[in-house]
Structure 1
Amino acid sequence: MNNLEIYSTVATAAAAIISLLISFYLIQKDRIKLDIDLSPNAEWISLLLLDDGRSIYNENGLIKTNIRIINSSNHDVSYFDLRIIDDDLNELVFYNKLQHNIFNNLQQTNVIAGALPNGATATLNIPESDFGILKSKSVTSIDIVISSESKIKSLFIMFKITNKKRLFKKIKFGYINSPYDSFSGSSLVEESNKPNYKEVYDSMHN
Structure 2
Amino acid sequence: MGHLHEDVLGLMRGNVRVPEPRGKDQEAFDYSVNPFPGADLIQPPTQQGERLRIHQIKSKTGSAKGGDGKRLGDQLQFLSDHYSADIFYDALVGNTLIGHRSKRGVEKAAPSVRVLVGQAAFYQLTGSNHGASLLLRLYQEAFLSAAQVTGYSIDVVTETIVEHFKQKSLEMGEGFLESILETSTGGSVEDQDSYLFNGRKR
TM-score above 0.5: no
- The structure, 1 or 2, with the larger RCO (C-alpha pairs under 8 Å, 6+ apart) is 1
* TM-score under structure 2 length normalisation: 0.24
Using structure 1 for the length normalisation, give the TM-score: 0.24
> Per residue, is there more strand in 1 or in 2?
1
Bigger Rg, structure 1 or 2: 1
Richer in helix (by share): 2
